[in-house]
Amino acid sequence: MADSNASSGSPEETANPSSDGNAPSESDLALDTLARKVQESLTLGKRHKFWETQPVGQFKDIGDTSLPEGPIEPPTPLSEVKQEPYNLPNLYEWVTCNINSDEMCTEVYNLLTNNYVEDDENMFRFNYSKEFLRWALHPPGYFKSWHIGVRVKSSKKLVAFITGIPARIRVHNEIVMMAEINFLCVHKKLRSKRLAPVMIKEVTRRVHLENIWQAAYTAGVVLPTPISTCQYWHRSLNPKKLIDVGFSRLGARMTMSRTIKLYKLPESTVTPGFRKMELHDVPAVTRLIRNYLSQFAVAPDFDENDVEHWLLPKEDVVDSYLVESPETHEITDFCSFYTLPSSILGNQNYSTLKAAYSYYNVSTKTPLLQLMNDALIVAKRKDYDVFNALDVMHNESFLKELKFGPGDGKLHYYLYNYRIRQTLKAAELGLVLL
């Protein structure tokens, strides 16, 4: 749910025109800052009122080692799970979204493209493609009923959306069936209607009906209580365009030509046996990935079906490369990234930023630095503008060296109805949510 809550809260506008038309004095500014802080704490309180009623780690429990690790509340007997959907405000109705239908997929695509996550300056907005949405929402064993929309009864216009997909997630030594919750999006004009909490409750109800009691999600805002907080890093592949659209700035004492030279990559990859993953590689890649992910505190428990679905290359959705030893033909290393463009808002020359996001990478024989440099080369060849990565798993070991710069964005990871006693470092996390 990358940043999804950023798309469902309404930021408070706090303009401070000074009364006499002169520049505001320092004491006015101090007062203004204070007023804004009070305002923010009030909106934060309001937002957390919902989460304080939910089985999630609470801020007051941080550091309390007497609390047991694992489920916070036991499962309810299935017969006691609410059978009817939650009530929506009168003008709206629930709809189950069949993403296989072209018409429905277009509606969801349009809602997300115009209303989903934006950066703080409102310059960029995620632009998930239809192929990406189908891939993201149809893993093995998915439930149609977990793809939930809200329509206006009269016009039938789709105005809100939330999804869940099933996943086996290992937390320390326990494998837990979970729902990964994503794509929470409310139309900009309806942000004041308090639809998001009802939608979260409704997707939770439908997850419970399948006898699943835990969930994982991410958000760009702090809610009770992150299990880990990660940082986004960005590697320029097309620095001129990134600077032109305001994604990055020209460094102090840097010219455009020096910047272009700084980020220049070789034409071709250097690792012998580096090639695109194919269907027959699935068993070997599964072994490699399972073995690698076993060292992290929280990670998916992938089987061959999962690897085939999530990691087999799909044009403009997910790219995967591996290293096959020229001597032994053993698969020794693996890297992957998914494609998530952003719409560029209000720029005359460019409408789309083509971004690659680092996914799962495993190095056993090839140094991770070299493997990821090859991934950058491939992404550059395919006309990506930027390569993004979180500092999860072993990513931190190559970020600075490969000229990634830290972004403004933090991503917080959450578990629903599952307590982890200790907050995890980003490097202890082996999970990437789309």
Q: Which residues pair with 276 in a beta bridge?
A: 321
pLDDT confidence of residue 5: 33
Domains of the chain: 52-217 (3.40.630.30), 229-428 (3.40.630.170)
Residue with the larger pLDDT of the pair 220 and 21:
220
C-alpha torsion 389→395→400→403, nearest 10:
-40
Q: pLDDT category, 6, cuts 50, 70, 90?
A: very low
pLDDT confidence of residue 31: 58
pLDDT confidence of residue 224: 85
CA angle at 400 for the pair 430 and 262, rounded to the nearest 5°: 135
Look-up of token digits 């439908």:
206
Q: pLDDT category, 10, cuts 50, 70, 90?
A: very low
Helices (H) and strands (E) in the chain, counts: 10, 17
Is the per-residue pLDDT at 37 higher than 80? no
Look-up of token digits 């250097």:
270
Residue type, 194: R
Is the per-residue pLDDT at 326 higher than 70? yes
Torsions phi, psi of 289, nearest 5?
-70, -45
Write the pLDDT tens digit of every residue in 202-239. 999 999 999 999 999 999 888 888 999 999 999 999 99
Look-up of token digits 């991503």:
411
How far is 176 from 214, CA to CA, in rounded Å? 8
Write the pLDDT tens digit of every residue in 151-188. 999 999 999 999 999 999 999 999 999 999 999 999 99
Q: Can you list the alpha helix ranges (DSSP code H) found in 263-407?
A: 282-293, 304-311, 368-381, 396-399
Are 183 and 425 contacting, i.e. CB atoms less than 8 angstroms apart? no
Q: Dig out the tokens for 19 from the structure.
A: 């009364």
* Mean pLDDT of the region 124-134: 95
Q: pLDDT category, 26, cuts 50, 70, 90?
A: low
Write the pLDDT tens digit of every residue in 346-399. 999 999 999 999 999 999 999 999 999 999 999 999 999 999 999 999 999 999
Report the 10 Å Cβ neighbour count for 181: 26
How does 359-379 read in b/e, with b if 16+ C-beta sit within 10 Å?
A: bbbbbeebebebbbbbbbbbb
Report the 10 Å Cβ neighbour count for 50: 16
pLDDT confidence of residue 206: 98
Any idea which residues carry the catalytic annotation?
434
Among 310, 363, 301, residue whose Cα is nearest residue 337:
310
pLDDT confidence of residue 49: 77
In Å, how far from its chain's centre is CA 229?
Answer: 12
DSSP 3-state assignment of 275? strand
Q: Dig out the tokens for 257 from the structure.
A: 């030509």
Is the per-residue pLDDT at 36 higher than 80? no
pLDDT confidence of residue 42: 45
Residue type, 274: F
Output DSSP code: residue 256.
Answer: H
How far is 57 from 225, CA to CA, in rounded Å? 5
The DSSP code sequence of 208-224 is HHTT--EEEEEESS--S
C-alpha torsion 415→122→239→313, nearest 10:
40
Among 69, 301, 86, residue whose Cα is nearest residue 208:
86
The enclosing H or E element of 45 equals helix 26-51
Largest CA distance in the chain: 79
What mean pLDDT value characterizes the chain?
89
Q: pLDDT category, 422, cuts 50, 70, 90?
A: confident
How far is 184 from 180, CA to CA, in rounded Å? 12
Residue with the larger pLDDT of the pair 312 and 56:
312
Calculate what percentage of the chain has a pLDDT beyond 70. Answer: 89
Write the pLDDT tens digit of every residue in 295-307. 999 999 999 999 9
Is the per-residue pLDDT at 8 higher than 50? no
Look-up of token digits 């989460």:
51
Residues with Cβ within 8 Å of 396's Cβ and at least 6 positions away in sequence, in order, are 426, 427
pLDDT confidence of residue 68: 87
Q: Dig out the tokens for 272 from the structure.
A: 């012998």
pLDDT confidence of residue 27: 53
How far is 148 from 209, CA to CA, in rounded Å? 14
